[in-house]
Structure 1
Amino acid sequence: MMVNQSKQESPAQPRGFSRAISPVATTLETLRQEGRPAFIGYFPYGFPDVPTSLEAMRVMVQNGVDIVEIGLPYSDPVMDGPVIQAASKCAIDNGVKVEGVFEAVQQVQEAGAKALVMSYWNLIMHHGVATFAQRMAEAGGAGLVTPDLIVDESGEWIEQSDRYGLDRIYLVSPDSTDERLQLTARAARGFVYATSRMGVTGERASVSESAEALVARVRQAGAPYVCVGIGVSTVRQASQVGTYSDGVIVGSALVHCFLDDQGRPRRDRRQALDALASTCSDLHWGISQSKK
Structure 2
Amino acid sequence: MNASLPATTKDTGRYEAMFTRLDEKNQGAFVPFVMVGDPDFDTSLAIIRTLISSGADALELGIPYSDPIADGPTIQKASIRALQSNIKVKDCFAIIKQIRSEFPHIPIGLLLYSNLVLVNGIDDFYQHAQNAGVDSILIADVPLREADRFITIAQAHEIQQILLAPPNASDETLSAIGEKSSGYTYLLGRAGVTGAETEVELPAAELVAKLNKYKVAPPLLGFGISNPKQVAAAIEAGAAGAISGSATVNIIAKYLDDHDALHSELGKFVSQMKAATQR
What is the TM-score when the length of structure 1 is the normalising length?
0.86
Q: Contact 1:195 / 1:211 at 8 angstroms: preserved in 2?
A: no
1:141 and 2:131 correspond = no
C-alpha distance in structure 2 between counterparts of 1:205 and 1:85, whole Å: 16
Tell me the residue number matched to 1:63: 54
Shift in Å at residue 217 of structure 1? Answer: 2.4
C-alpha distance in structure 2 between counterparts of 1:238 and 1:277, whole Å: 17
Tell me the residue number matched to 2:5: none
C-alpha distance in structure 2 between counterparts of 1:90 and 1:212, whole Å: 39
- Aligned-residue identity in percent: 28
Shift in Å at residue 20 of structure 1? Answer: 4.5
C-alpha distance in structure 2 between counterparts of 1:205 and 1:123, whole Å: 27
C-alpha distance in structure 1 between counterparts of 2:128 and 2:198, whole Å: 39
Per-residue CA deviations over 1:133-179 (Å, capped at 9, x if unaligned) read 22222222211122211232123321211112111111111122111
1:266 and 2:266 correspond = no
1:42 and 2:36 correspond = no
Tell me the residue number matched to 1:165: 158
Greater Rg, structure 1 or structure 2?
1
5 Å matches for 1:112-151? 112-151=105-144
SS at the partner of 1:200?
coil
C-alpha distance in structure 2 between counterparts of 1:162 and 1:20, whole Å: 14
Among residues 221, 226, 241, which one is paired with 1:247 in the alignment?
Answer: 241
Tell me the residue number matched to 1:286: 276
C-alpha distance in structure 1 between counterparts of 2:75 and 2:167, whole Å: 22
Identify the range of structure 1 (216-225 vs 73-82) with the bigger mean alpha-carbon deviation: 216-225
Among residues 85, 94, 102, which one is paired with 1:103 in the alignment?
Answer: 94
The amino acid that maps onto 1:236 is K
Shift in Å at residue 85 of structure 1? Answer: 1.1
Change (3 A) 1:66 1:213: same
CA RMSD in angstroms comes to 1.9
C-alpha distance in structure 2 between counterparts of 1:257 and 1:23, whole Å: 28
SS at the partner of 2:32?
strand
User: Any stretches of 5+ residues in structure 2 without a counterpart?
Assistant: 1-8
SS at the partner of 2:91?
helix
The amino acid that maps onto 2:257 is R
Among residues 138, 148, 159, which one is paired with 1:155 in the alignment?
Answer: 148
Tell me the residue number matched to 2:211: 218
Structure 1 residue runs of 4 or more that deviate by more than 3 Å after TM superposition? 18-22, 204-207, 209-214
C-alpha distance in structure 1 between counterparts of 2:136 and 2:130, whole Å: 8
C-alpha distance in structure 2 between counterparts of 1:230 and 1:194, whole Å: 9
Identify the range of structure 1 (241-250 vs 55-64) with the bigger mean alpha-carbon deviation: 241-250
C-alpha distance in structure 2 between counterparts of 1:153 and 1:207, whole Å: 27
Per-residue CA deviations over 1:225-262 (Å, capped at 9, x if unaligned) read 111111111011112112211121111111111223xx
> Between Structure 1 and Structure 2, how many residues are aligned?
268
Per-residue CA deviations over 1:83-116 (Å, capped at 9, x if unaligned) read 1111111112222111122222223322352111
5 Å matches for 1:188-207? 188-204=181-197, 206-207=199-200
Per-residue CA deviations over 1:191-215 (Å, capped at 9, x if unaligned) read 1110111111111474314354432
Tell me the residue number matched to 1:227: 220
1:73 and 2:67 correspond = no
Tell me the residue number matched to 1:187: 180
Q: Contact 1:171 / 1:194 at 8 angstroms: preserved in 2?
A: yes
What is the TM-score when the length of structure 2 is the normalising length?
0.89
User: Any stretches of 5+ residues in structure 1 without a counterpart?
Assistant: 1-17
Q: Contact 2:231 / 2:242 at 8 angstroms: preserved in 1?
A: yes
